[in-house]
Amino acid sequence: MLKKRIIITLTFLDGVLFRTKNFKPDYRYTKNFIDLWSIDELILIDISEKKFSKNFLELISFFSTNCFVPLSVGGGIKQVGDADLFFKYGADKIILGSNAIKEPKLINEISHKYGNQSITQSIDCKKIIKENRFTVMGSSGKVDLLLDPVKFGLMALSYGVGEILINNIDNDGSLLGYDLNLINSISEKLDCPILALGGAGSWQHILDLFLKTNISAACTQNIFHFTEESILSAKKFLRNNNIKIRN
């Protein structure tokens, strides 16, 4: 069995690191306090209106130079040239959002050039309470794309995505735990590595995620205070509960 992964997700607005709540900037951080040694992977997301700014590209370069783990980068990728730029500055993988829906051949083109292991497709979900179902949201959670998450995931895989990131907008920043029902409803129907993001507020939430779903990695941002002790303590807790986790 492959070991589970702990991935930290960092969200940047105009070059400044923020935590988010319901996909909106909520609290400002500084990258100087991020533990670059104990994490398994790192995700950088640009939520700025102006994409591909010098500030964000320099951030990619900074983390790729100082953090010796796989680095995934997303935010505004609309064409192969955008992905080229992120790879040029040090990304190991790119994360696609709703633009993959508008131009699904984009996935195929990037996959053909870099391999499907280089592409993660984010599925940003929001619950339609009256209808008791989830829909896929685009434009940083602002636009309902009127798509079923499973159908979107299957489409993305058919075009050449290597893994899927499930994100619950309503849980983002809540610290109340992952939406295990949503994660299972999608992951059980997709044959690929699955990452989960949105809601981790304790080590128990991460443990529940690994015990009750078949996902490969727990992504989080707000639970950590970006210190080595906190990440190592999380991994110790998981190992003590018989979860095979990377060192």
pTM of the model: 0.91
Strands 217-220 and 194-197, by their bridges, are: parallel
Strands 24-28 and 16-21, by their bridges, are: antiparallel
Dump the DSSP string for the chain: -PPBEEEEEEEEETTEEEEEETTEEEEE--GGG---SS-SEEEEEE--SS-S-HHHHHHHHHHHHH--S-EEEES---SHHHHHHHHHTT-SEEEE-THHHH-THHHHHHHHHH-GGGEEEEEEEEEEGGGTEEEEEETTTTEE----HHHHHHHHHHHT--EEEEEEGGGTTT-S---HHHHHHHHTT--S-EEEES---SHHHHHHHHHHS--SEEEESSS--S-HHHHHHHHHHHHHTT--B--
Q: How many CB atoms lie within 10 A of CB 105?
A: 10
Burial of 135 (0-12, 13-18, 19+ CB in 10 A): middle
pLDDT of residue 23: 65
Each residue's pLDDT, cut to its tens digit, for the chain (247 residues) gives 689 999 999 989 888 887 777 766 665 555 555 556 678 999 999 988 888 999 999 999 999 998 889 999 999 999 999 999 999 999 999 999 988 888 889 999 999 999 999 999 999 999 999 999 999 998 878 899 999 999 999 999 999 999 999 999 998 878 889 999 999 999 999 999 999 999 898 999 999 999 999 999 999 876 765 455 578 888 999 999 999 998 7
pLDDT of residue 226: 47
Distance of CA 36 to the CA centre of its chain: 17
- As given in the structure block, the two tokens for residue 20 are 């988010």
pLDDT of residue 29: 59
- CA-based nearest residue to 147, from 159, 133, 157: 133
pLDDT of residue 229: 57
Distances (CA, A) of 155 to 121, 176, 187, 224, 244: 10, 30, 14, 33, 31
* Spatial contact of 160 and 200, defined as CB atoms under 8 Å apart: no
